[in-house]
Structure 1
Amino acid sequence: MQVLVRDNNVEQALRVLKKKMQREGVFREMRSRRAYEKPSEKRAREKAEAIRRNRKAARKLAIREGLIAGPARKPPQQRTPRPSAA
């Protein structure tokens, strides 16, 4: 994994690196490898994750088909012009 540091801005490069690692699942894997997980616990966890994924997919499909109401949308905010610094 590689991140470019632009204009010596290390803070921004770290944020980008963390986001990439999060997307790749590195943090989740580190947490899971921290301690031994019994095979029975692993099966139970994986089953719970699958159930959660399926429920989420079913909920999204139901919202898309109009069977249930989706989350309420926020009204667009009015933008106020900024005072000029001149």
Structure 2
Amino acid sequence: MQVVVRDNNVDQALRALKKKLQREGVYREMKLRRFFEKPSEKKARDQAAAVRRARKLERKRLERDGAFQNRR
């Protein structure tokens, strides 16, 4: 990962680097790898995340579809 330093402005480049790292999920990955995680814990965490994603998608779908039904 690279960040260009312009006009010797290191603070701005550092801020841009942190933003890129945040977007890529590097901080989340570091937090997860700090301690050993049992495979069963990883599986449970992944399944819980999948459930959250599915519920969020369903809420968005219902919100979109429900808005059209209320207008009619």
TM range (shorter): 0.7 to 0.9
Which of 1 and 2 has greater Rg? 1
Query: What does residue 50 of structure 2 align with?
Result: 50
Q: Would you identify which runs of 4 or more consecutive aligned residues in structure 1 move more than 3 Å?
A: none
**Partner Cα separation in structure 2 for residue 10 and residue 35 of structure 1:** 32
**Partner Cα separation in structure 2 for residue 9 and residue 54 of structure 1:** 43
Larger helix share, 1 or 2: 2
**Partner Cα separation in structure 1 for residue 19 and residue 59 of structure 2:** 27
**Greater length-normalized contact order (CA 8 Å, ≥ 6 residues apart):** 2
TM superposition shift of 1:28: 1.0
Query: What does residue 31 of structure 2 align with?
Result: 31
**Partner Cα separation in structure 2 for residue 15 and residue 42 of structure 1:** 32
Query: What does residue 70 of structure 2 align with?
Result: none
Gaps of 5+ in 2: 68-72
**Partner Cα separation in structure 2 for residue 62 and residue 11 of structure 1:** 44
Count of matched residue positions in the alignment of Structure 1 and Structure 2:
67
TM-score normalised by the chain length of structure 2: 0.83
Gaps of 5+ in 1: 68-86
Alpha-carbon RMSD: 1.2
